[in-house]
A and B are shown apart, each in its own frame.
Chain A
Amino acid sequence: MRGREPMAGEGRSLLSMAASGAAWFAYLFLLMPSLIVIPISFGERTAVEFPPPRFSLDLYHQYFFEDQWMAATALSLRVAMGATIISVVAGVLAAYALVRCEFPGKKLVGVILLSPILVPIIAVALGLYLYFNALNIRGSELSLILAHSVITAPFVIVTAMAGLRHIDANLEIAATVMGAGRWRTLSRVTLPLLKPAVVAGALFAFLLSFDEVVIAWFVAKTASPTLPVAMYSSIQWSGVSPVLAAISTLLTVLSVTICLIVAAVTGREKR
């Protein structure tokens, strides 16, 4: 515990003990849902039991061999990849303009581009439902990809803007002074330096779209739902269906993996 300066050297007061106790209770509360699905996922098909009476991979087998789950997963993967590509291209370009250029109306543009973060998602979902209905493309994969791009783009923009602010603008100026044109500077200096932020933004965009449920609930066809929509209907109509424990465990593994990759990529950058 070296380096814990202000409070060290004195006995632990009742207050700080109560505070740490409350904090650890809260940490446990935060982790509990992700942890509890793991043992249940190795249980049996018949009922949700904790702890499971015997170890089995039945639930994983059920997930991987039922067409309904596989079709939903494949759709979610395609939509998330499409949304990631669109939001990374649009987002990184926009972030560059917002950080490196001066132009009138910059603040307003920034607010518009980031607003999907704070606008209630249900209003966006309803808007897209009506809009895609009117255009007669509701439920198509394209409509889902476009809808998800809107909510993933702000996260890419925020990540890329933070990345750009960490890059020393003098490096770009130096390249220009040495005769590199604007595009050459961008492709040879700025983008390579920005790579960790772009990778982080892309992975988060993917995860965000892959897990998104409210917009997909309004936009997707009932007959071909995305994975989160299929899970939502399953919890709503059949309660605690055991196969969901296996899916939840896999989704948790996906989230943790993505967070670890992001930590590794951005951490290397800092050192």
Chain B
Amino acid sequence: MTGAGQGRVAALFLLPAMALMTGIFLVPLAGVAHQSVTNPAWTLDGYVELTTSKLFLRVLWTTFEISLSSSLATLLLAYPIAYHLAKQPPRRRALLMTLVMVPFWTSILVKSYAFTVILGQHGAVNSILAWSGLPTVKLLFNRVGVIIGMGHYLIPFMVFPILNSLLAQPPDLAKAARVMGAGKARIFWRVTLPLSMPGVMAGFLLSMILSLGFFVTPALLGGRKDMMMANLVDMYTRETLDWTMASAIAMILLMLSGVLIAALSRTGGGKGILGGAH
């Protein structure tokens, strides 16, 4: 194909997708930006009000706390999975990977419903505790419930970057360390773990990005104190009908994710997720 011909074909083929993204994605997002500084004339009141709003500042802090703690909890479960997967022969690994993908393709409402059943006052966990004579614990409509629910959602996003960085390590490296007399624990702490850090960073950033915007899990598994930014946007949009405030919060959320996305694109492990290398 000639250069000009290619350009014409590309323009024609990109037309429907670009029209869709412009008309139904970029313009509405620009609308949010516009609404955040309009009430009804041009104003920065929305943002000014947010900096002094106790509710907003509390929700912002809660969002950080929940995102950080659920990403950490996710890491604790995702790393062993990735490590385990990396050691399996390819066929078995492919099979186990489908287990990791199950939550990815399960409706968030199925998961939320299941967790209300599992974690509730008379749920599966508390029934087992009561049956074994232990005191029951409150796992639902509080921070614990939100972290469990979000961790479950985030695990696949953390497993794959870590797995990639584990599989990228040449097996000879561990062999060499063993030949030179290093024990298994030492090889793990001094070779495997440090070399997997880019994957851990990428997975952690990705899970922070996704956590910041969570809506369903905090609404269904959390209590009133676990409201996150997305829930506040919903409240201002549909209950208070204050679209300027709702838009200002959404803009702040967009900017926070933008910063994290920029950080993610700088880590090598993030490439696969952002559609780069592969």
Q: Across the interface, do A211 and B275 meet the contact criterion of CB distance under 8 Å?
A: no
Q: Across the interface, do B108 and A101 meet the contact criterion of CB distance under 8 Å?
A: no
- Contacts known (A93-B14, A119-B254, A235-B220); A211 close to B20, Cβ less than 8 A: no
Complex contacts, A5 vs chain B, CB 8 Å = 171
Our pick among A26, A29, A50 for the contact of B127 (Cβ within 8 Å) is: A50
Secondary structure at the B interface, as helix, strand, loop or mixed, is helix
Q: Across the interface, do A109 and B118 meet the contact criterion of CB distance under 8 Å?
A: no
B134 at interface (Cβ–Cβ under 8 A)? no
Q: Across the interface, do A7 and B87 meet the contact criterion of CB distance under 8 Å?
A: yes
Secondary structure at the A interface, as helix, strand, loop or mixed, is helix
Q: Across the interface, do A37 and B24 meet the contact criterion of CB distance under 8 Å?
A: no
- Contacts known (A23-B84, A112-B26, A150-B24); A32 close to B114, Cβ less than 8 A: yes
Binds A, one of B29-37, B41-49, B53-61, B196-204: B29-37
Q: Which of A200-225 contact B (CB under 8 A)?
A: 207, 211, 213-214, 217-218
User: What number of B residues sit within 8 Å (CB to CB) of A?
Assistant: 94
- Contacts known (A1-B89, A26-B80); A123 close to B124, Cβ less than 8 A: no
- Assembly CA distance A96 to B1 (angstroms): 14
B115 at interface (Cβ–Cβ under 8 A)? yes
- Contacts known (A30-B103, A48-B117, A235-B116); A214 close to B110, Cβ less than 8 A: no
- Assembly CA distance A232 to B221 (angstroms): 12
Binds B, one of A60-68, A191-199, A237-245: A237-245
Our pick among B28, B77, B99, B124 for the contact of A31 (Cβ within 8 Å) is: B99
Q: Across the interface, do A258 and B105 meet the contact criterion of CB distance under 8 Å?
A: yes
Complex contacts, B188 vs chain A, CB 8 Å = 15
Q: Across the interface, do A146 and B24 meet the contact criterion of CB distance under 8 Å?
A: yes
Q: Across the interface, do B109 and A128 meet the contact criterion of CB distance under 8 Å?
A: no
Enumerate chain B interface residues (CB-CB to A < 8 A). 1, 3, 6-7, 9-11, 13-14, 16-21, 23-29, 31-32, 35, 77-78, 80-81, 83-85, 87-90, 96, 98-103, 105-118, 120, 123-124, 127, 152, 155, 171, 174-175, 183-185, 188, 209, 212-213, 215-216, 219-220, 229-230, 233-234, 237, 243, 246-247, 250-251, 253-254, 257, 261, 274-275, 278
Enumerate chain A interface residues (CB-CB to B < 8 A). 1-7, 10, 13-16, 19-20, 22-27, 29-34, 36-37, 40, 48, 50, 86, 89-91, 93-94, 96-98, 101-104, 106, 109-110, 112-116, 118-124, 126-131, 134, 146-147, 149-150, 153, 157-158, 161-162, 182, 207, 211, 213-214, 217-218, 228, 231-232, 235-236, 239-240, 244-245, 248, 251-252, 255, 258-259, 263
